[in-house]
Amino acid sequence: MVAVGLLCALVCVSHGYNLKDLERRQPPPRTCADKGLCCQGQNNTCFVFGPRLDRNQESKRCYCDSNCIIMGDCCTDYHHTCSRQDCQVGDWQEWTTCDNQCGYGARKRTRKVIVYPDNGGHHCPIMKQRRACVGYDQNICDQNRLGEQAEEKAEQARILPIEFGRARTMKKYDPWKGILKNLYNKYFNEIFTRATYRGKFLITRTHYGCDDSPWANVLKVNNTVCVECQPIAMNREIGMRCLGHGVMHAKTSWKAVDVSKCHGEWVMVEGHTPDVCDYDIQYEDKLNFIFI
């Protein structure tokens, strides 16, 4: 190789030009291989002046970036010189456990890239997946339920006669007037789709303030009342239920809305069921109420 280099140098000197002259006389690169170009993505500097695959005679440039496949302006040797490599991925891993151990949650799984795409190869497919699940760990669910019951026991139910719930379309019980105005203003655009449910309560303590009310005077000790939780009163922040809806066999407090000093305590004797109060007799109908 040294001898060849010396010979070339002697020839150049004997003919009156140097190595730089030879370099200038070399033909310019016209393909990706000539210039040693293979670029990723869109790279406007990755080109040579040469023929294009699309045979466009108006443009003198052909490109060696992987975006040329989309644009159709690749050099004629692009696919041969810059061979395409599609993405290759491994197998899916096992699904994770439900991320909520007591209630609705999600499970996940992933897979890894073995070979990344190159030179315009196909992109990698989805690498992560999620799906819904319902977790149930009895110990955790029992603890959660105890915590919920502690909150529910501390709440005070606010009640009205059931006629306010049945006759909201009547002028007499116009929801935009009187007691229900604030309730409707707060929840009118958030009426829930959960069905009405009810509970039955045995009154254990009451205050004398109920006696003079035409509708609250039935709230007497040892009377059993039925109270509906209707969608308009369900509160999203506490789990789409009514405030103070009670705990089975536990003593909780209640308040008759808009009746001064009418309040007391009761015990739930029939648990929450997706149903409405069903009294038909005129007097017993007065023992039906709604939560607000």
pLDDT for 241? 87
Q: What amino acid is encoded at 287 in this protein?
A: L
Task: Say how far apart CA 36 and CA 274 lie, in whole Å.
Answer: 75
* Domains parsed from the chain with CATH numbers: 27-83 (no CATH), 88-138 (2.20.100.10), 152-291 (no CATH)
pLDDT for 166? 53
Residue linked to tokens 């369900």:
234
pLDDT for 174? 46
- Distance set, CA 158 to CA 38, 113, 212, 230, 255 (Å): 75, 59, 18, 13, 5
pLDDT in tens, the chain (292 residues): 444 444 454 444 445 555 555 556 678 899 999 998 988 888 999 999 999 999 888 888 999 998 898 888 999 999 888 887 889 999 999 999 998 887 778 899 999 999 888 776 788 999 999 998 888 887 777 666 766 788 888 999 999 998 887 544 444 444 445 555 555 455 444 444 567 889 999 999 999 999 999 999 999 999 999 999 988 888 888 878 899 999 888 899 999 998 999 999 999 999 888 888 876 655 567 899 999 8
